[in-house]
Structure 1
Amino acid sequence: MSSVAAASRLSVRSALKPVAGALAFDGRSTRSEVWSFWLLTAALSLVRVDVTSIPLLTVVYTLLCGFWSWLWIPLTVRRLHDQDLSGKLAWFLLIIPAGFALIWITAPHGADYTLAFDNGIVSLRRTAAWSPLAAVIVAIIAAGAVLQMIILMRPGTVGANRFGPDPRLVPARPDYTGMSLYERLHHSDKREAFDRAIARGDRSALTALLRELDMENVDWVVDAAMKR
């Protein structure tokens, strides 16, 4: 079946795709999906709720934060797939948190800059002094952030690749002009669904199927089919 290009745009539906695909490491994702999810993440990060006084909510909030961070991993894998690249390259995501952790552990105490971590529950802060090692780590973190942005924002391959069909394409709607009902059923492979709907006496399923086939006088066709 032929396909046509679908408009890629920011939307709530695109932003929620990473949530639905939390465990999906196959297939492909578009740049609009990344931007939509990033904007949703930024908006949610503005909501600050003090849950530290309620232990259960603290646990739930911590789990949600961990889950939300996790979503970037399969999303990045699918974005790599969209460019016909191996999902194993997603390991570069660890550069940034690993770099910050390394600075926290190795940076000597001083007053040159402040290291801080605050997720609404855990708040850590300490001052540190610049060192050659810290400068190298910061450079690596910056390079990792730039690399991550480049990979996430690079255009995907046009058409199908080894990881699946192009997510920017949707199947073209068949042209049933001049076809009889049975020709349409054969052309669309809907004959079995048609027979099952009749056998069950399911008028709503039959009506939906006929509308999908662009039939005219749907109600009349449904009545006639049910009398078979």
Structure 2
Amino acid sequence: MTDRKWAPLRLMPSRTISRTFEFSGRSSRTELFVYLVLTSLFLWLLFWAFDWLLPQDSGVWLLYLAIDAVVSLPLVSLLFRRAQDAGFSGWLSLPGVLLWIVSIYDGLINRPMTSWDAWGMPWTLIGLASIIWVVILSLLPPPLGENRFGPDPRLA
């Protein structure tokens, strides 16, 4: 395998971050999944280190919330562009993303459910449904070539 073949994969996270507030155009499935895998690994390692180094009652969950919000910002526009890559309006990705964010933050505020929680359980189900919605939109194959949202990112 040549180094040139993997060069675009190394550049994807920086390109995704630089396009944080850009909602026009298209993004490939590869760009989405590279960003998701790298940020998930980063957050997992960082939060594991925080849990190991800091006491549980230190209010570290506020730091979790802040870091998660910063890392999630590029994801919103990336999912928007990914829906456009599949040929749909990017607005179709936003309900799933917003419900996902609300359910995550509700879970942080109302932390562990030790018994049936009339408020927490619906948010958990809404969060699960929104994740499924985002996954479906993310996995849809794009049409070959250019569409109304721009050129094919796989050919760029």
TM-score by length of 1: 0.51
Cα offset, 1:151, TM superposition: 0.7
Cα offset, 1:80, TM superposition: 0.8
2:76 aligns with: 73
Gaps of 5+ in 1: 1-6, 53-59, 105-116, 118-122, 171-228
Higher helix share: 2
**Corresponding residue SS for 2:45:** coil
Q: How does 1:53-92 map to 2 (within 5 A)?
A: 65-91=68-94, 92=96
Gaps of 5+ in 2: 55-62
Deviation track 1:142-184 (CA, whole Å, cap 9, x = no partner) reads 11111111111211121111100111114xxxxxxxxxxxxxx
Take 2:145 and 2:79, find their aligned partners in 1: how far apart are those partners? 19
1:25 aligns with: 23
> Which deviates further from its counterpart, 13-22 or 67-76?
13-22
Cα offset, 1:72, TM superposition: 0.5
Take 1:159 and 1:9, find their aligned partners in 2: how far apart are those partners? 22
1:164 aligns with: 150
Label 1:10 to 1:144 Cα distance change in 2 as closer, same or farther (>3 A): farther
Cα offset, 1:84, TM superposition: 1.4
2:45 aligns with: 47
2:99 aligns with: 95
Q: RCO higher in 1 or 2 (8 Å CA, sep ≥ 6)? A: 2
Higher strand share: 1
- Quick one: percent identity of the two aligned structures? 24
TM-score by length of 2: 0.72
Kindly indicate whether the alpha-carbon contact (under 8 Å) linking 2:113 and 2:120 is maintained by their aligned counterparts in 1. no
**Corresponding residue SS for 1:130:** coil
Kindly indicate whether the alpha-carbon contact (under 8 Å) linking 2:110 and 2:120 is maintained by their aligned counterparts in 1. no
Kindly indicate whether the alpha-carbon contact (under 8 Å) linking 2:65 and 2:105 is maintained by their aligned counterparts in 1. no
Cα offset, 1:61, TM superposition: 8.9
Q: How does 1:182-201 map to 2 (within 5 A)?
A: none
Take 1:134 and 1:10, find their aligned partners in 2: how far apart are those partners? 42
1:12 aligns with: 10
Q: State which structure, 1 or 2, has the greater radius of gyration over its C-alpha atoms.
A: 1
Cα offset, 1:66, TM superposition: 2.8
